[in-house]
Structure 1
């Protein structure tokens, strides 16, 4: 796992490093420039023409420092400072003064020349307002230029905390980000304009990161090593009994896919509770599964209690439909079930309807003893919460965390999957 920082968390890590640990900001800026230079030297020929576009903040200072290093390596570098922000940061002033002493080329107007590389050092991680006016005009023109585009820390126009585009964003081919990945570089649409994201260490001390403790972590393939190895002296009964309540008439595929997924995720025994019409295809395609099928509602209610008591984990929803029978099925599972419960797909749609109209169901939902995991995509999340999809999408971490605060685990599915648990918000990428 690795920390993933929001805008505020990264700013706090930066401030703690400077104010509490005592690392001068100009030192961090130099290390950021060295990290950027390393990427250039690895990937971009030294005879390239480079345009570095800046503002007067620290992100602009990173760009100026990079340009100085590139000049020393033999690159042709032009600087264009938008200059709408009225005051320079102290570190930016230092970097600009050095370049002026080196007689670097600062352009007075937006260039008409062609460049091999464009560097965006306008806003970085700190932006939280819509991009407008001259800034918008410049970013529009940069996006139209044919060149390799490199963003410093975060593409200008991307909300570093939520991944939203604040009016317009620089469309990077490469983003070199410092210290930690940023939330906005992982979540869409921000991820779509970030290109290849390269994380570079620039000297933020571990103490600063631990003190701020970012609230999101990202799983990587290395985390698979945390899964326990299976011991030789075991059998299928040692690895759990999953009851999968799935499928309905003409929806055998949902039952088949969910049952197969249960086995592939490591379940020892899988029992599929479905309608009689699905028996043959399930026996043919998944012969290892135990089948409990019903040919009438009365038979379903007769078979369900024993099936629930058999299970050590229950899953309900894929392909069950949204009929009155399906709603009752969801309610009966909440009433009779004791094992950990995963609700997905039509299970969520039926649950959303029941929560609106059934007071008893609301109590069962909140008091379910076995623990519950809800796995909505954005439309299902909208049905569960009553919020518009656009509102949920505008800040996925906030939506996931606020819903999880109400008692159960939420796995919010989009291009990135978010799962708030205890103190952390996990993202699967």
Structure 2
């Protein structure tokens, strides 16, 4: 697990390190410069021309300190200070005085000529107002240059907490950020213009980080240790019974995908509840599954209670369609279910209608004792919250927390999926890729989460780990097949490699 910091949290960590733990700010600045220098020495040939654009704050001081080191290394470095902020920070003043003693080249105007590298050391992590005036003009001109563009800590103009663009932002090819990842470098659109992100340690003490305890985390490969334990002296009954209510007529694929994923994520037994028209396909594509099929709506409602009582985990939604019948099935599950429940896809769309129009379903939903995981994409979340997609997209963690609590886990699916139980920390997912933007990918995620729940994981851990492993499977598939050619049906097969 690793922390992901907001603007305020990073500022608090910085302040605690300096004011409480006694680390001089200039020391942190020097270590930031050394970290930047290391990246330059690895990637940029000596004698390259470098333009460092600064302001008078500490981000500008980082840029000045970097420039001093690069001059000593033999790079050709020019400095342009915008100077639209009235007062220098103390550390910035120190760095500038050293450069003046070195007779470094400070330009009076933004240069017309091209450079090999442009370094953005204007605002960094602290910006929370829209970029305007001279700052906007300079950033526009920086973006027009053909050079390799490097941002110090956070590209100027990106909100470090939300990833939103504050009017205009520096379009970086590479961002070197310090201490912790910033949420704004991961959330879109900020992630789109941050380029490759490198995290460098500069000496923030662990005590400072733990004291502030950022309210967002992400997983790394070591977190696969959270997978459900499988012991030698066990049988299929020890690994749970997943009931998947999936696949209306002509939608058998959704049931196949979610059922396959549930088995490949460790479920002992998977039972698919679907319409009779899907029987042959399901028997051919997923012979391991137990099938319960119905040939009429009345029959479905008659036999569903027994299937519900059989299960230790229930998933509902993939391919069931939006209809009065589907809503009746969902209502039965909420009324009779006594085990963890995952609601996805059409299950969510039907739920949105019921929550809006049916008081009884609202009570059943909020009083469901065994816990519910909801896995909406942005449009489904828009229906559930009755908010515009743009509003949800502007702050995904905030949107996820609106509907979440310890008994209702929200998996808000986007390029950076957020998982929340309404409390800190939220989880932001860093695995996965755009090759997974294909029909059926969400059905696979439902199956994975159900499988992890069947293995005994808690709601929150199953949701987080399910999202992470789903993304890792997508990454493995894209590495072998390319982003254009990944199919949802590939994901369960590559999940094998992730869980191996």
TM-score by length of 2: 0.85
Match of 1:283 in 2: 283
| Distance apart, 1:235 and its partner CA | 2.0
Match of 2:42 in 1: 42
Alpha-carbon distance in 2 for matches of 1:229, 1:361: 36
| Distance apart, 1:287 and its partner CA | 0.5
What runs of 5+ residues in structure 2 fail to find an aligned partner? Answer: 431-500
| Distance apart, 1:229 and its partner CA | 4.0
Alpha-carbon distance in 1 for matches of 2:23, 2:352: 52
Alpha-carbon distance in 2 for matches of 1:113, 1:135: 19
Alpha-carbon distance in 2 for matches of 1:384, 1:174: 37
SS at match of 2:181: coil
Change in Cα spacing, 1:382 to 1:406, as seen in structure 2 (3 Å) is: farther
SS at match of 1:411: strand
| Distance apart, 1:226 and its partner CA | 2.8
Spell out, residue by residue over 1:111-158, the C-alpha distance to the aligned partner (whole angstroms, 9 max, x if none): 011111110001100111111121111111111111111100001111
Match of 1:182 in 2: 182
SS at match of 2:3: strand
Alpha-carbon distance in 2 for matches of 1:290, 1:223: 32
Match of 1:427 in 2: 428
Alpha-carbon distance in 2 for matches of 1:270, 1:176: 46
Match of 1:364 in 2: 364
**Match status 1:230 vs 2:248:** no
Structure 1 outlier segments of 4+, above 3 Å: none
CA contact (8 A) 2:369 2:407 kept: no
Spell out, residue by residue over 1:350-392, the C-alpha distance to the aligned partner (whole angstroms, 9 max, x if none): 0000000001111001000111000111111110011111111
| Distance apart, 1:75 and its partner CA | 0.4
Alpha-carbon distance in 2 for matches of 1:403, 1:77: 51
Match of 1:120 in 2: 120
| Distance apart, 1:85 and its partner CA | 1.0
What runs of 5+ residues in structure 1 fail to find an aligned partner? Answer: none
Alpha-carbon distance in 2 for matches of 1:287, 1:420: 35
CA contact (8 A) 2:255 2:318 kept: yes
CA contact (8 A) 2:320 2:326 kept: yes
More divergent stretch after superposition (219-228 vs 344-353): 219-228
Match of 1:5 in 2: 5
**Match status 1:111 vs 2:107:** no
Match of 1:239 in 2: 239
Alpha-carbon distance in 2 for matches of 1:403, 1:91: 44
| Distance apart, 1:407 and its partner CA | 4.7
SS at match of 1:327: helix
| Distance apart, 1:79 and its partner CA | 0.3
Alpha-carbon distance in 2 for matches of 1:428, 1:76: 40
| Distance apart, 1:406 and its partner CA | 8.2
Please list, as runs of the form range in 1=range in 2, the aligned pairs for 1:360-399 lying within 5 A after superposition.
Answer: 360-399=360-399
Spell out, residue by residue over 1:163-222, the C-alpha distance to the aligned partner (whole angstroms, 9 max, x if none): 111111111111100000000111111111111111001011111111100011101122
Alpha-carbon distance in 1 for matches of 2:44, 2:18: 32
Match of 1:72 in 2: 72
Spell out, residue by residue over 1:305-351, the C-alpha distance to the aligned partner (whole angstroms, 9 max, x if none): 00000000000001111111011111111011111000000000000
Change in Cα spacing, 1:228 to 1:407, as seen in structure 2 (3 Å) is: closer
| Distance apart, 1:423 and its partner CA | 3.0
Match of 1:350 in 2: 350
Aligned residues: 429
**Match status 1:410 vs 2:417:** no
SS at match of 1:321: coil
Change in Cα spacing, 1:406 to 1:387, as seen in structure 2 (3 Å) is: farther
